[in-house]
Structure 1
Amino acid sequence: MNPKLLRKLHRWLGLVFSLSVLIASGSGVLHNVMTRTQAPPPQAKPSGGGMDVNAIKLSVAEAVSKISEANPEVQAVNLRGIGGQPWYQIYTKTSRGPQYVSAIDGKVDSSRDEAYAAEIVKNFLAGSEVKKTDFLTSFNSEYINIFRILPVYRFDIGDALETRVYVSTTTGSVTRHTDKQRQFEATIFTNFHKLGFIPDKNLRDLVLTVLTFGIFLVACLGIALFFATRPKKR
């Protein structure tokens, strides 16, 4: 192989793809900073308003018979404490979300899902007043796919930090807790580490693949150049 050509390819390709190396190393530094400045993710610990178990009058089968579906195929039933009272949270194969039946008198109330979410958030934030601002059924630029769980409610406190909390009534827990400072760091990390500023996922994956392959190619050229230009034995 021509050492002169190898050297030229290595130099120019190295210059082009060094940007990817800079971005990757920058995201690595930021990741270490974030482990110091950001609290760990919330524990997936079910919570709610508590309940009086002695008040339960209905069995699971009786509660299921109260919902509007005929012969529903039940997939899961949870007992949730909402407003201090026990409620059955019922998931069926055909329902789009959970259905709630009072374990005391059999009343069906679909609004209990949002009320349950609000109680989870208030317990997490030690009783702070919150306001529901969104209900997510898909990921977005702030609640990205690494958080995995959907759907989730978003609640805002309205404080100076612009604190917001995402909560799942399926798991009965907070899935993300952030504010403007934490999100600023997270946005920079996503843009550096995953090229999050490219909105289309297919294009983003293609660019990441090309950049990664470019680094691999530059490394291979460096190895080839080493052997092509090594001193010859006498």
Structure 2
Amino acid sequence: MNARLIRKLHRWIGLVFSLSVLMASGSGVLHNIMTRTQAPPPAARPSGGGMDVNAIKVSVAEAVSKLAETNPEVQAVNLRGIGGQPWYQIYTKASRTPQYVSAVDGRLDPSRDEAYAAEIARNFLAGAEVKKTDFLTAFNSEYINIFRILPVYRFDAGDGLDTRVYVSTTTGSVTRHTDKQRQFEATVFTNFHKLGFIPNKDMRDLALTVLTFGTFVVACLGIALFFATRPKKR
């Protein structure tokens, strides 16, 4: 084994790929800090403002018949308490979003989904006033794919912390709760750990693969150098 050549390769390749080691170690330190400074993900809990079950006058079959679709193929029906009133949340195969029919009078209300999301957000933030600022059908730089659930509404509290929550009416829960400080830490972690500053996923995955493989090669060269330069036995 040519120890001189191995030493040169180890030195220069190590210098080139030391950036990935620094970023990985830095993100590891930040991850430990985030476990101390950030609250765990929101716990799943019953949502909505409650309901008067005695007010239910419309059956599920009657509610489905109120939909605009002819002979809809129903996939799921949930009973939701929205504004203190019972509503059927109906999912059909043809519709990509839930439809809401009043369990009291059979009224179809297309705006009820957003109202339900706002109620979930207000309850989560202890009654704080919230404003809808986005409706996401795809992941973005703040609501990334580790949160898994789409679509979601974004609501901002408008306080000094820039508090915002992401709400899924499918699960009836807050899927993400963040603010200015938490998002700063999360953004730094994503950029260090996952190269989040590269917008194209294919390019990002390629860069991660190259950096990881380069680090692997450097480690292998270090092991080879150890054996190539070890003292010879007499």
TM-score range, shorter chain: over 0.9
Q: Distance in 2 between matches of 1:219 and 1:203?
A: 24
Q: Which amino acid is 1:75 matched to?
A: Q
Gapped regions of structure 1 (runs ≥ 5): none
> Distance between the aligned counterparts of 2:67 and 2:96, measured in 1?
14
Contact 1:120 1:174 in 2 (8 A): yes
Q: Secondary structure at the match of 1:40?
A: coil
1:213 matches 2:213: yes
- Aligned equivalents of 2:124, 2:33: Cα separation in 1: 25
Q: Which residue of structure 1 lines up, in the alignment, with residue 69 of structure 2? A: 69
Structure 1 length-normalised TM: 0.98
Q: In structure 2, how many angstroms separate the alpha carbons of the residues matched to 1:45 and 1:172?
A: 9
The answer to whether structure 1 residue 171 and structure 2 residue 171 are counterparts is yes
Residue type at the aligned position of 1:133: T
Query: Match of 1:195?
Result: 195
TM-score where L is the length of structure 2: 0.98
Question: How far 1:224 sits from its partner (Å)?
Answer: 1.0
Q: Which runs of 4+ in 1 moved over 3 A?
A: none
The one-character-per-residue Cα deviations of 1:14-68 (angstroms, maximum 9, x if unpaired) are: 1111111010000000011111111111012230111001111111111111101
The match for 1:128 is: 128
CA distance in 2, matches of 1:81, 1:172: 10
The CA deviation string for residues 75-115 of structure 1, in whole angstroms up to 9 with x for no partner, is 11000001110000000011020000000110000100000
Which amino acid is the alignment partner of residue 32 of structure 1?
Answer: N
Compute the displacement of 1:189 (Å): 0.5
- In 1, Cα distance between the equivalents of 2:176 and 2:91? 23
Which secondary structure state, in structure 1, belongs to the residue aligned with residue 71 of structure 2? coil
Question: Following the alignment from structure 1 to structure 2, what is the Cα–Cα distance between the partners of residues 17 and 6?
Answer: 16
What residue is the counterpart of 1:157 in the other structure? 157
How far does residue 231 in structure 1 lie from its aligned partner after superposition? 1.9
Task: Work out whether residues 49 and 82 of structure 1, in 8 Å CA contact, stay in contact via their aligned partners in 2.
Answer: yes
**Distance across 1 between alignment mates of 2:46 and 2:4:** 65
Tell me which residue corresponds to 2:49.
49
In the other structure, the counterpart of 1:12 is: 12
Unaligned 5+ runs, structure 2: none
Q: Secondary structure, in 3 states, of the residue corresponding to 1:49? A: coil
What is the rounded CA distance, in whole Å, between the counterparts of 1:79 and 1:187 in structure 2? 37
Q: Is the 8 A contact 1:46 1:171 kept in 2?
A: no
The one-letter amino acid of 1:188's match is V
**Stretch deviating more after TM superposition (89-98 or 219-228):** 219-228
**Offset at 1:229?**
1.5
CA shift, 1:204, in A, is: 0.5
Give the total of aligned pairs: 234
